[in-house]
């Protein structure tokens, strides 16, 4: 259990999902990937407040983003486990001029002062330090709290919590030395304090982290992510939709988020999964244009997550959650109740006022 900032038992949304919340369209990292792609990059930098605000303005039902911790345990938004910096003051001209630094090894204040670099194809792309970017909405490395405070509550959050996985070749995606319990607690504490009043789903590729997230709170649904066939993990629970569903059922998760490649190979897997868990959100590179998005939606998932929302989301669209008038008040049940003002008993107060205390 969480030592502080824990969730109480007054209500639960862990298994709450309305039947009309289906065919949802979800922005991948906001408007889409931008930092490492060589073509068709999103017009705004991924995983920034600006990208989330633009997605919300276009009528996205939810926005998906990645959360991890700095060394001082601040939940920040960034996809990769590391950043690239140039130790020397010179302008880097090759990969050898760059040093890779793990986010878990750097404090948030240090991170905000660093100029970072991305290798895109044969090019090195420079990104100014967080503190030097205006307007603030376009800064890399926003905090999870920033997202909760600045993005309209009618836009749902699909919160992916990052934890390095062991790949099929035996190598780990990255190194992680933080305690998994503490890792989950720090992120959930921010969700509890700032995330109420909104549709939030929490998910991870790490099965054990999913079970922790579910056991530590019952306010928000937890989903189990499945790996792609091209980037398979050693954990067999991520290798097929059937294995993912079995795990989700065993640990009372809200659902699964499989790669669309599994559905492309066997479209019937969506309905089989939805017969067992309420939420099935598809993701992956196969969701690449309006035709493919429509085809996957026809298979009946709860929602699809894709890049370039600005190109493929229909015009004049309204979020599914903005259209439901009762939701703002209903989701307020997630929030901590206001502290009660102590009511004074006038008789007792009168007696005490006339007592001479030694």
Burial class (CB within 10 angstroms; exposed 0-12, middle 13-18, buried 19+) of 329: exposed
Q: What angle do CA 22, 196, 79 make, to 5 degrees?
A: 70
* pLDDT tens-digit series, residues 293-333: 999 999 999 999 999 999 999 999 999 999 898 998 899 99
In a domain, 184, yes or no: yes
pLDDT band at 338 (very low <50, low <70, confident <90, very high): confident
In a domain, 10, yes or no: no
Where helices occur in the chain by DSSP H, the ranges are 49-58, 108-112, 144-150, 180-194, 207-216, 241-250, 260-265, 269-274, 290-298, 309-312, 327-331, 346-353
Give me the sheet containing 116-120, strands edge to edge: 99-102, 82-85, 116-120, 123-127
Give 230 or 58, the one with higher predicted confidence: 58
74 SS3 class: coil
In a domain, 246, yes or no: yes
In a domain, 14, yes or no: no
Rounded Cα distance, 129 and 91, in Å: 15
In a domain, 102, yes or no: no
* pLDDT tens-digit series, residues 148-193: 999 999 999 999 999 999 999 999 999 999 999 999 999 999 999 9
For residue 158, what are the β-bridge partners?
64, 201
In a domain, 273, yes or no: yes
Q: State the chain's mean pLDDT as an integer.
A: 93
Can you give the pLDDT at residue 358? Answer: 46
**Ordered DSSP codes for 203-255:** EES-HHHHHHHHHH-SSS-EEEEPPPSTT-BS-GGGSSHHHHHHHHHHTT-SE
Can you give the pLDDT at residue 85? Answer: 97
**Buried (b) or exposed (e) across 3-35, using 16+ Cβ within 10 A?**
eeeebeeeeebbebbeeebbbbbbbbbbbbbbb
In a domain, 287, yes or no: yes
In a domain, 128, yes or no: no
Give 228 or 148, the one with higher predicted confidence: 148
Domain span including residue 223: 24-76+143-353
Whole-model pTM: value is 0.92
Looking up residue 260, the CATH number of its domain turns out to be: 3.20.20.190
Lowest mean pLDDT among 76-85, 161-170, 200-209, 332-341: 332-341
Across the range 58-79, mean pLDDT stands at: 98
Task: At 335, list the tokens.
Answer: 């929030």
pLDDT band at 108 (very low <50, low <70, confident <90, very high): very high
Number of structural domains found in the chain: 1
Rounded Cα distance, 302 and 101, in Å: 37
Which residues lie closer than 8 Å to 281 by C-beta, 6 or more apart? 24, 26, 158, 201, 203, 223, 255, 256, 257, 301, 302, 303, 304, 305
**Which of 122, 82, 81, 120 has the alpha carbon at shortest distance from 99?**
82
Length in residues, the chain: 358
């Amino acid at each position: 259990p969480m030592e502080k900032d824990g969730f109480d038992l007054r209500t639960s949304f862990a298994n709450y999902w309305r039947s009309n919340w289906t065919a949802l369209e979800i922005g991948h990292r906001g408007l889409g990937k931008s930092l490492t792609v060589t073509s068709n990059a999103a017009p705004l930098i991924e995983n920034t407040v600006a990208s989330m605000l633009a997605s919300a303005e276009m009528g996205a039902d939810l926005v998906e983003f990645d959360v991890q911790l700095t060394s001082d345990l601040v939940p920040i938004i960034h996809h990769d486990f590391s950043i690239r910096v140039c130790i020397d003051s010179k302008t880097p001209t090759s990969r050898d001029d760059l040093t890779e630094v793990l986010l878990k090894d750097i404090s948030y204040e240090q991170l905000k002062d660093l100029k970072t670099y991305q290798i895109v194809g044969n090019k090195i792309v420079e990104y100014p330090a967080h503190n030097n970017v205006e307007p603030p909405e376009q800064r890399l490395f926003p905090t999870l709290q920033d997202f909760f405070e600045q993005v309209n509550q009618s836009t749902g959050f699909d919160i992916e919590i990052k934890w390095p996985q062991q790949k099929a070749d035996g190598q780990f995606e990255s190194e992680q030395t933080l305690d998994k319990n503490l890792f989950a607690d720090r992120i959930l504490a921010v969700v509890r304090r700032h995330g109420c009043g909104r549709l939030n789903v929490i998910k991870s590729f790490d099965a054990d982290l999913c079970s922790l997230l579910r056991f530590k709170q019952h306010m928000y649904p937890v989903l189990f992510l499945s790996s792609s066939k091209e980037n398979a993990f050693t954990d067999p629970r991520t290798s097929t939709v059937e294995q993912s569903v079995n795990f989700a059922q065993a640990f009372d998760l809200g659902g699964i988020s499989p790669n669309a490649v599994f559905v492309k190979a066997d479209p019937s897997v969506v309905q089989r999964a939805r017969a067992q868990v309420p939420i099935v959100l598809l993701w992956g590179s196969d969701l690449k244009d309006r035709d493919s998005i429509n085809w996957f939606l026809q298979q009946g998932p709860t929602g699809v997550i894709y890049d370039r929302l600005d190109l493929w989301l229909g015009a004049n669209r309204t979020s599914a959650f903005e259209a439901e008038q009762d939701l703002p008040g209903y989701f307020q049940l997630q929030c901590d109740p206001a502290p009660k003002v102590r009511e004074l008993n006038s008789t007792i107060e009168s007696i005490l006022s006339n007592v001479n205390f030694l």
